[in-house]
Structure 1
């Protein structure tokens, strides 16, 4: 996980929300006006009370007292109406802003490269998507408006205090000056804690997600207690941060309660003295304290609203860390097209290293030169760590080369739009990932624009399942419409791999890249899949990472990857004669295959 290179001021940080807020700004302004109207109604009540105390009550005019009571009732009703209007103005627009931010956040996650997702924990992204964006919505609908209106109310109310006597107004304001110091201190300390808390909540979400996904491993090894201890430590850390946040809020609330009370006490003493010397009427003194009381809620709310503001600012920072993340794998400014794709795939002087690789480390791919002719099936073999899987990620631009080029029909893949490139190139991975939807939707995922319920889709689905030998689908409760569960974990590893292979086949690409997609299959099923694949591979260029001699047998030629370089290319027979390293690799494959067969027999 990374953070912003520099910390913006709170106003500048929140100003980044303006593009999202702009379409609904008129309604939010309407909400501010309604909230301000409610505040003004509450400030007018003391003025009415002043007139009543010095007039009708002093003179004993009962009818005027009744009318004054009706006036106060009307002002209270108008205040309630304005509060209702505030909510009516802002609730729907705020949810619209939340929707747009969440949509753009998810869209950004889909477009960011695999290297970004390698660095970021899924729980951190999930907490930003759900918790932080929701907090921003609540702040826009409630916190921002009330903070603005309450500050204006305090300023206007303070001005009213001078209306009765300058000494009372001055005393109230001077005694309140320490609140600005405590507010500044609070913003600094609470801002740091708020960020820590939200980051720790993201780490906690990651732990929960990992525990749920790895529940079989935890149970199998009896490590549930260990996972619980680790989780408890993280919870305790988060709890400690939340308690420190609560203490900061508590200290601010203390001063927000104490300072106004001190001001009230001093103003009461001064007010009584002024009234006793006929410099202030009883009605004016009563109105002063009614106004001061009306200002108490805006003053007290500042603690909560400032903490809300800082939480919202921190949430905005966290969301924009993702939205502002650099994406180097983008469409070119002047994209090229391939009119008649043939499927020639070429690696020319390809170098690759991961971003976090040390300066002294050699490139993982160190000058790969390899050409696959249209319709050719090339097996890629090598020992663990030679760079096979990394090489297979380059044709579809899951990663970009750091030097050299990958070409499709003579065109650098970086000169094609991602949409066109991935229409021509499809992949199946060793670690088969399925989505929490039906078998049909998983298999047809790569066929953009195809109605999954159309007769054409049925034909494509049936053919793909036949090639992948995924006949088990028809025995599922709802056949191809059966939901496979989260990440397909309700299926076996071999079943998931066959569905992933079917998905790649159903895309009908010109180039098929298979990263050991049959590793979880038993030998007999693998033989059936390979026989079916030969029909597909007859017209499709294929690059297959092989870990079994039987997979190598599928290929027209074999490329040997050794320490990041292609050291030999030829048929299986040719390489057995000419490449000692190839013979070593194949012998290791054969040993693994014998072990697997013996295991299957024993089972």
Structure 2
């Protein structure tokens, strides 16, 4: 059973990006499952044909019985009846069972995982801007929605559409053997039925896509509120968030009503159309029988087939409605998930090779697509092992400079080099592996303390993990952690975004992560801002050790934390306006000196120099 369940590799990779047209996207999603989908198609055709064949055999059985003399029905037809019994009791169950097994065990469990894993990998490769411009909950919802919809479209197409086509083909051939005029009646009814569904289904598809978009908006809004629940509580804004959520839910409700109104009309009219078929075909074959052109077996066969097709019409139509609804959801998910990343590796990108860790900004400019903001024509070289501090009011360009170095954005003009290698021409993963970073807004996963620290180096030993935590002054408080599941110490979960920790504790775990990573380049963005003075003094000692033999860029509004750097670079309005050591800049009595003199409580404010 396990072997059969793994015939389709559920997490198979593909090197191709997701297409942005529907049919090609569906093919891309299920590409590695084609051999087993084709097997399912063959079995579905078999089950559809066997349904009609059963009616044919029933008619043959009736005609044979009527043709036999009294008391000789079984003796004269023993072999025929045994063959028909074998068909119904052995052959038909084997084909139907094989089809059910392929659908439920081979295809069903693996196909959804295959599609979801491909969409998730693609989403992971998106640029930071992609995530900045959307709700996290909405993106996750679109991944789940699209993968589920693709799976259902694929399975229902094989399970229903192929089955129905095979049944219709076999039924038409059966009716032709009886009388061509009955086959013409079926063909005319089929044309009317197809015209009916081709008018309704595109409209259902449009309304299904609108319903899916509204549902995802509700999910995104709710997740956004829950993610920021502390802010909601602090600002007593539960009523506001409720109003915002209700507005999204009302839109979703309206889209559901739109969808429900057209689907109910579709079902009502379909019931009438389906009822026409058995009435018309049965009346026609009775007329032929009365004229001596049909047998009682023909009446039984036509009646059985017409009732089966009538019943199947409702089933197929509802399934087609579901398929079209899912196609609408696939298209809606495609619009969100398939855009091409704005930051990509060059076709011939090679791994970054760091020997000395020299950083050079060569006339680098970036303004986020605006006329002002960001940085402009920055020329800056950080020597191997040099420690520099970046200083400037908010919006001066400090974070932009760091984001460009990490290649979260690409410089609009100029270039950035590490050991003479243009970072736009090396792989992004190798670039970011060479850079350790500790930020003010420390990112934590809702995983264990161990998992969060090991993010710096996932194959580190337990001894290396604990040593890093001790150097970051995190070991003692980690040992005291306990979560709601009863896990303690390094096995305790930290909550979403580390909400169970104080700001200082989160930053110490982030420091431990950076220590464990041991990258040749280190970026500190307000790395000690959430620490009290006593802990900061201890951490500063640890940082001094961590910074040894590394090239360091540190951003700080608390100037005392970077006063000991080898060099301080002062930014204003995206330009470097001063550079030098702390003492040299104070002696210069320029912008940095004014910052130093006018700090409030040791911090640099946005308007400090005004």
Q: How does the TM-score come out when normalised to structure 1?
A: 0.87
Q: In the alignment, which residue of structure 2 is the partner of 1:601?
A: none
Q: Distance in 2 between matches of 1:258 and 1:241?
A: 27
What's 2:558 paired with?
548
Q: Does the residue aligned with 1:171 lie in a helix, a strand or coil? A: helix
> How far is the alpha carbon of 1:149 from its aligned partner?
2.0
- Who is 2:385 aligned against? 375
2:94 to 59, 81, 91: 81
Distance 2:333 2:242 in 1: 29
Which residue of structure 2 lines up, in the alignment, with residue 214 of structure 1? 228
Residues 283 and 578 of structure 1, relative CA distance in 2, 3 Å threshold: same
Query: Is residue 384–residue 551 contact of structure 2 (8 Å, CA) maintained in 1?
Result: yes
The question of whether the paired residues in 2 share the 8 Å contact of 1:424 and 1:509 is answered with yes
Give the one of 279, 282, 291 matched to 1:277.
Answer: 291
Aligned residues: 579
Match of 1:35 among 28, 32, 44: 44
Q: Let me know the Cα RMSD of the aligned residues.
A: 3.0
Q: Work out whether 1:557 is the aligned partner of 2:554.
A: no
Aligned to 1:481, which of 463, 473, 491? Answer: 491
Instruction: Please give the alpha-carbon distance, in whole angstroms, between the structure 2 residues aligned to 1:557 and 1:257.
Output: 81
Of 376, 381, 394 in structure 2, the residue corresponding to residue 384 of structure 1 is: 394
Q: Which runs of 5+ in 2 are unaligned?
A: 1-16, 483-487, 606-610
Shift of 1:402: 1.3
Distance 2:100 2:181 in 1: 38
Partner Cα distance (1:473, 1:172) in 2: 75
Aligned-partner Cα distance in 2 for 1:5–1:445: 29
**Conserved? CA contact 1:187–1:310, under 8 Å:** yes
Which residue matches 2:477? 472
The change in CA–CA distance for 1:76 and 1:487 in structure 2 (over 3 A counts) is farther
SS in 2 for 1:383: coil
Counterpart of 2:177 in 1: which secondary structure?
A: helix
Q: Is the 8 A contact 1:136 1:316 kept in 2?
A: yes
The CA distance in 1 between the partners of 2:175 and 2:351, in whole Å, is 73
| Distance 1:451-1:536 versus aligned 2 partners, 3 A rule | closer
Equivalent-residue separation in structure 2 for 1:5 and 1:340 (angstroms): 34
Structure-2 change in CA distance of 1:6 and 1:272 (3 Å): same
Q: Residue 166 of structure 2 aligns with which residue?
A: 152
Q: CA deviation at 1:69?
A: 7.1
After superposition, what is the alpha-carbon deviation per residue over 1:460-502, rounded to whole angstroms, capped at 9, x for unaligned? x424542456642233243333322222111112211221122
Contact between 2:354 and 2:520, CA under 8 Å: does it hold in 1?
A: no
Once the two structures are TM-superposed, the CA of residue 264 in structure 1 deviates from its matched residue by: 3.0
Pairing partner for 2:532 from 522, 526, 529: 522
Name the counterpart of 2:213: 199
CA distance in 1 between counterparts of 2:200 and 2:470 reads: 62
What pairs with 1:342-361 in structure 2 (closer than 5 Å)? 342-354=356-368, 357-358=369-370, 361=371
Question: Which residue of structure 2 aligns with residue 14 of structure 1?
Answer: 23
Alpha-carbon deviation of 1:318? 4.8
- Distance (whole Å) between structure 1 residues aligned to residue 480 and residue 305 of structure 2: 76
1:217-261 Cα offsets, whole Å, 9 max, x none, are 223333223322322222232232223223333333333321132
Task: Find the partner of 1:410 among 390, 400, 420.
Answer: 420
Partner of 2:192: 178
Instruction: Give the counterpart of 2:582 among 568, 572, 576.
Output: 572
Written as runs of structure 1 = structure 2, the 5 A alignment for 1:129-148 is 129-148=143-162
Contact 1:154–1:299 (Cα < 8 Å) also in 2: no
Query: What is the CA-CA distance between 1:592 and the residue it aligns to?
Result: 6.3
CA separation of 1:537/1:334 partners in 2, compared to 1, >3 Å: closer, same or farther?
A: same
**CA deviation map 1:146-199 (0-9, x unaligned):** 212212312331332233223333233323423222222223212212222222
Runs (5+) with no aligned partner, structure 1: 596-603
Q: 1:468 to 1:539 in 2, by over 3 A?
A: farther
Q: Distance in 1 between matches of 2:73 and 2:41?
A: 34
- The 5 Å alignment of 1:65-104 reads 74-77=86-89, 78-91=91-104, 92-104=106-118
Quick one: structure 1 residues 372 and 289, their matched pair in 2 at CA, closer, same or farther if it must change by over 3 Å? Answer: same
Establish whether residue 309 from structure 1 lines up as the match of residue 323 from structure 2.
Answer: yes
Match of 1:504 in 2: 514
Q: Displacement, 1:555?
A: 1.9
* Structure 2 counterpart of 1:598: none
SS at match of 1:446: coil
| Preserved contact between residue 176 and residue 263 of structure 1 (Cα < 8 Å) | no
- Pairing partner for 2:443 from 430, 433, 446: 433
> In structure 1, how many angstroms separate the alpha carbons of the residues matched to 2:234 and 2:595?
33
Instruction: Decide whether aligned partners of structure 1 residues 238 and 71 sit closer, same or farther in structure 2, where only a CA change above 3 A counts.
Output: farther
Q: Partners of 2:320 and 2:506 in 1: how far apart?
A: 51
Per the alignment, residue 343 of structure 2 pairs with 329
Aligned position for 2:410 = 400
| Structure 2 contact 354–418 (Cα < 8 Å) conserved | no
Distance 1:321 1:341 in 2: 43
CA distance in 1, matches of 2:209, 2:345: 34
